[in-house]
Amino acid sequence: MARTPSNMLSLGTPASDFTLFDTVSGKQMGLKDLQGDKGTVIMFICNHCPFVIHVNPEITRLAKEYQAQGIAFIAISSNDVENYSQDAPDLMQQVARQQGYSFPYLYDETQEVAKAYDAACTPDFYLFDSQVELVYRGQLDDSRPGNGIPLSGNDLRNAMDALLQGKEVDSHQKPSIGCNIKWIPG
């Protein structure tokens, strides 16, 4: 299991616009259609990564809790499906249903969106404010597969709470750790 850290995009960076295929609804969806009134979490995830499988219950829980408060959640898979067929769009749809995702699970076939966000690993989390400017990037919490620390979502949760309360999000942020994004060769 490779341990790749986030690249930590600069805080204040505006979200890059995109339109991608949503494997859940079968429709093309764009950032402008999906962003939340108070904030937007963009997560780069995939089906097969043990780090993502580990955090799935917590991201599902957080999404249900914070969507009701005006924060949208968007999941994106950018992995090379030619060489990693378990991340194919039809299987993304199955995972979304099995996990009870209450958010779109978008397929970044060209990997252009992952590159625009300087995403490096799965999971990689980004929180944007109502102006769609980056206020948090990094880990969900300190829990990793096999480290014995329970899932809490504390790092992302604290950032969302600060955003909702109109407070400044703590700029001391830890990178996420996960499997590297499976880039298309060439």
Tens digit of each residue's pLDDT (9 = 90 or more) over 77-88: 999 999 999 999
The predicted structure's pLDDT at residue 23 = 97
Stretch 172-181: mean pLDDT: 94
Q: Is the pLDDT of residue 1 over 60?
A: no
Q: Inform me whether the pLDDT recorded for 42 exceeds 70.
A: yes
Percent of the chain with pLDDT over 90: 95
What residues contact 28, with CB distance under 8 A and at least 6 apart?
A: 19, 20, 21, 22
Tens of pLDDT along 111-139? 999 999 999 999 999 999 999 999 999 99
- Distance (Å) of CA 169 to CA 66, 71, 114: 16, 15, 24
pLDDT at 186 over 80: no
Pick from 181, 171, 182, 183: which is nearest to 138 by CA?
171
Q: For 57-69, what is the mean pLDDT?
A: 97
| pLDDT score at 4 | 84
